[in-house]
Structure 1
Amino acid sequence: MNKLLPTSTAGSLPKPSWLAQPETLWSPWKLQGDELIEGKQDALRVVLNDQRQAGIDIVSDGEQTRQHFVTTFIENLSGVDFDKRETVRIRDRYDASVPTVVGTVSRQQPVFVEDAKFLRSQTEQPIKWALPGPMTMIDTLYDTHYKSREKLAWEFAKALNQEARELEAAGVDIIQFDEPAFNVFFDEVNDWGIAALEKAAEGLRCETAVHICYGYGIKANTDWKKTLGDEWRQYEQVFPKLQKSSIGMISLECQHSRVPMDLIELLRGKRVMVGAIDVATNAIETPEEVADILRKALQFVDADKLYPCTNCGMAPLSRQVARGKLAALSTGADIVRNEILAGGI
């Protein structure tokens, strides 16, 4: 992408009310069969248009064709029993009933490739597609087969790599792996988590990214953030090794967070998606608030490597709020882009 400060979203966008219950995570579909397929494509067109109207440069599917950013991919793999459920602690934060790994996990067929082809047919803009990362996948399951988080992560990495290669062939420009678990399991991240992530991205010629946030704006996450003190330094644990990794872009959370901006210096040389939109509030940022975050980030990342973005996905928000936030992101980026081109920064 040749444009300076190209904007994008981190992941999900709200689904239309005729497709799924608004402002709700894991919301069941309201349609079935062929109507569901058509409804998903219609929703994809809607969120693509919302992004265009807002001036977003790198567009995505807004995760309109999946119920959840992790489980929809897992549902399409063998070796996982969704009827056999256990309660586990998700990212050391909240309990959830999850499916069980009962055998060898493998990808039997493409999961999102047809959806990506449809999106590609609808736009000439650069496309970003998000997949769950291996460590975040293992943290949303109960494992009775491998009995090793590392072994299971490596199997998921192989399946993700198969999917990612086909998404690239379908015309996806940036493949992003979502790894909120990287902000929790620091020893595992450095021991084998980043290596598993690199396995998932192995052989890709398109741009690769990893998204590491502090989670959706749900109560379990906002309560956890209140326990983290005045400075959130979790990134400090994993950035040094990520900086040396083969992953090209790092997506992080900055707006209304207590992340010290100078931690970005640890990623020097990487492209950085700077989260300038808070997804844990209905308050719509002003363009100047967005611009302020970007100006601060520019102290630690070169302008040609800075990608204004949202902190995380916006599925739990209303469509009106999400559209307002997208417009603020775009306009805020315009402010700073013009300042750079005028020599002011």
Structure 2
Amino acid sequence: MNPILPTSTVGSLPKPSWLAQPETLWAPWKLQGDELIEGKQDALRIATKEQRDRGIDIVSDGEQTRQHFVTTFIEHLDGVDFSRRETVRIRNRYDASVPTVVGPVSRSKPVFAEDAACLRQQTDQPIKWALPGPMTMIDTLYDGHYKSREKLAWEFATILNQEARDLQAAGIDIIQFDEPAFNVYFDEMRDWGVATLERAAEGLRAETAVHICYGYGIKANTDWKASLGSEWRQYEESFPLLQQSTIDIVSLESHNSNVPTDLIELLRGKKVMLGAIDVANQTIETPDEVADTLRNALRFVDADKLLPSTNCGMAPFPREVALAKLSALSAGTGIVREELSGTPS
């Protein structure tokens, strides 16, 4: 049985240096062919053990088998040409060279099901797998075929639903859709973004989560955060819609952010995966700092619906920093569990 306040990570963990260049997003693989397949699964096993050793209750793959949380999924789809590159503005923050949609998009076979089955073999604990959300997928491509962000998002939502059903069959307990685009494109989110997200999650028995953050701790994101002022109220746009949606869990950034904690009240009734670990700063949180973040949140979410987590992925961190942060997350959560139960954690 899961403890109260089950801990989790949101996304990526640093990869071993023998697999990919450390502290680098989109780091190229250092292995090839069968060695790469074996190396990825070895890294997945290591990441699973490292999470368990540090008291993480809901274990993920740490994205060890993926170069990037969006493009690795898209690489396996038909209708996208990675040799035809265009420069686009990603989430209105930075320019990037991206692949081009050249025809109808489809998925000829499962993308992550084998890796998910490998993760399932490593632990009896609940396991979570992250997929990119439809809006964030279309924001990471140049559309040379549909000429409609909405139409392409609906196509991706159908493909994501197919993939999510395969992940569920492989034993995944929680399927998370990453939608940082929800913090930027408010009109599209209201018009069709939440609807396409619900389509991606349609008919699943597994719990579903949506992760909306302010991005990895890279300069383009930290510069954007610095421009947002003393209160970050972007969640005010999405939370009321998500509270009414079919999605089970909403994941948000909190610790060391300027997000007003009382915005969590807008999600009343939903489970909340709360970011209590900063991914834009290598300073290791103390257990007391984590506990304070959780206590503040508990004014607006019931304890049985709170899942302490990280703000975002930690791929750009040194491994020892990421692992120390996981230990802090567990220790801080333990303090609050003890306060809630009156018994030692």
TM-score by length of 2: 0.99
Matches within 5 A, 1:306-345: 306-342=306-342
Deviation at 1:51, TM superposition (A): 0.3
Matches within 5 A, 1:1-345: 2-342=2-342
Task: Return the alpha-carbon distance in structure 2 between the equivalents of residues 81 and 32 of structure 1.
Answer: 21
Task: Return the alpha-carbon distance in structure 2 between the equivalents of residues 3 and 49 of structure 1.
Answer: 19
Q: Is the partner of 1:155 in helix, strand or coil?
A: helix
Task: Return the alpha-carbon distance in structure 1 between the equivalents of residues 290 and 94 of structure 2.
Answer: 31
- Find runs of 4+ consecutive structure 1 residues off by over 4 angstroms: none
Q: Is the partner of 1:279 in helix, strand or coil?
A: coil
Contact 2:28-2:67 at 8 Å conserved across structures: yes
Contact 2:2-2:57 at 8 Å conserved across structures: no
Deviation at 1:342, TM superposition (A): 1.6
Task: Return the alpha-carbon distance in structure 1 between the equivalents of residues 45 and 102 of structure 2.
Answer: 38
Q: Is the partner of 1:222 in helix, strand or coil?
A: helix
Task: Return the alpha-carbon distance in structure 1 between the equivalents of residues 74 and 338 of structure 2.
Answer: 43
Letter paired with 1:192: W
Contact 2:12-2:313 at 8 Å conserved across structures: yes
Q: Deviations over 1:279-325 (max 9, x none)?
A: 00110000000000000000000000000000000000010000000
Show structure 2 runs of 5+ residues with no match: none
Q: Deviations over 1:166-203 (max 9, x none)?
A: 10011000000000000000111011000000000001
Letter paired with 2:295: R
Task: Return the alpha-carbon distance in structure 2 between the equivalents of residues 16 and 281 of structure 1.
Answer: 20
Q: Is the partner of 1:145 in helix, strand or coil?
A: coil
Task: Return the alpha-carbon distance in structure 2 between the equivalents of residues 155 and 323 of structure 1.
Answer: 37
Task: Return the alpha-carbon distance in structure 1 between the equivalents of residues 241 and 117 of structure 2.
Answer: 34
Task: Return the alpha-carbon distance in structure 2 between the equivalents of residues 162 and 280 of structure 1.
Answer: 33
Letter paired with 2:173: D
Task: Return the alpha-carbon distance in structure 2 between the equivalents of residues 94 and 41 of structure 1.
Answer: 32
Question: Number of residues paired by the alignment?
Answer: 344
TM-score by length of 1: 0.99
Task: Return the alpha-carbon distance in structure 2 between the equivalents of residues 106 and 157 of structure 1.
Answer: 11
Letter paired with 2:36: L
Q: Is the partner of 1:130 in helix, strand or coil?
A: strand
* Percent sequence identity over aligned pairs: 77
Task: Return the alpha-carbon distance in structure 1 between the equivalents of residues 140 and 45 of structure 2.
Answer: 30
Q: Is the partner of 2:59 in helix, strand or coil?
A: coil
Task: Return the alpha-carbon distance in structure 2 between the equivalents of residues 155 and 80 of structure 1.
Answer: 13
Letter paired with 1:53: D
